[in-house]
Chains A and B, each alone.
Chain A
Amino acid sequence: KAGVTQTPRYLIKTRGQQVTLSCSPISGHRSVSWYQQTPGQGLQFLFEYFSETQRNKGNFPGRFSGRQFSNSRSEMNVSTLELGDSALYLCASSPIGSEGNTIYFGEGSWLTVV
């Protein structure tokens, strides 16, 4: 069974630009969540989607948005990039949307904003 796949793995953007990151969950998984990881703040929850609906959102500005498609694939978008958005963005999927399930992380997308 293929794991969580994130694309692209690495990208460099300029301040003010926008970026879209993609996540393909494990087949059959319907819950997808996104996290940002930085050396200073660690792993922080961005948002979670289940059946195309955003169920939870973390404390990030509105520049961070996401969506989930009917095949459970998800994208997140960051608009008007700032230097502080440089981070590893991780997507995680789990089989069903209830609490206490194992969640499986992808390898992440490394974003550098210059």
Chain B
Amino acid sequence: SQKIEQNSEALNIQEGKTATLTCNYTNYSPAYLQWYRQDPGRGPVFLLLIRENEKEKRKERLKVTFDTTLKQSLFHITASQPADSATYLCALPLSGGYNKLIFGAGTRLAVHP
């Protein structure tokens, strides 16, 4: 069955450094992959979508890569700030599509001043 794994439960980094989060998946060849941010007690907020034919995508301080051979996506936040502290979720479309997504467990990022 389709599985998604995200690295570690918590990632602690110093302000100004680059945070790198990993999303691995198995038994699957998704057409695209999405990243979301979720703050405590709130719904996830869409950040980026990268398609299978795209190697890299950027949005301001965010960068996502998608390696379909390794079945892995990396999510980078450059020049991280304490306000970036949140849980970051990756999501893949389940077969059948139509906004039917499977989510990873999420990586909690804490950026310290």
Q: Which of A's residues lie within 8 Å of B, judged by CB? A: 4, 31, 33, 35, 42-45, 48, 50, 55-56, 58, 90, 92, 94, 97-108
> How far is B46's CA from A104's CA once the two chains are assembled, in angstroms?
7
| Cross-chain contact B98 with A56 (CB below 8 angstroms) | yes
Would you list 14 pairs from A and B whose C-beta atoms are within 8 A, ordered by A residue?
A: A31-B98, A43-B89, A45-B100, A45-B102, A48-B98, A56-B100, A92-B99, A99-B98, A100-B31, A102-B49, A104-B46, A105-B36, A106-B43, A108-B42
**Min CB gap A88→B, angstroms:** 8
Count how many chain B residues have C-beta atoms less than 8 Å from C-beta atoms of the other chain.
26
Residues of A within 8 A of B97 (CB): 56, 99
> How far is B89's CA from A99's CA once the two chains are assembled, in angstroms?
19
Q: Report, nearest first, the 4 A-B pairs whose CB atoms are least far apart.
A: A105-B43, A43-B103, A99-B97, A56-B100
Given A99-B93, A100-B51, A102-B49, does the pair A50, B98 have CB atoms closer than 8 Å? yes
Residues of B within 8 A of A58 (CB): 100
Given A48-B98, A50-B98, does the pair A43, B31 have CB atoms closer than 8 Å? no
> How far is B99's CA from A38's CA once the two chains are assembled, in angstroms?
20
| Cross-chain contact A33 with B99 (CB below 8 angstroms) | yes
> How far is B98's CA from A31's CA once the two chains are assembled, in angstroms?
8
| Cross-chain contact B43 with A107 (CB below 8 angstroms) | yes
Given A4-B43, A56-B97, A100-B93, 19 additional A-B pairs, CB 8 A: A31-B98, A31-B99, A42-B106, A43-B103, A45-B100, A50-B98, A90-B43, A92-B43, A92-B99, A94-B99, A97-B99, A100-B51, A102-B49, A103-B46, A103-B99, A105-B44, A105-B46, A106-B43, A108-B43
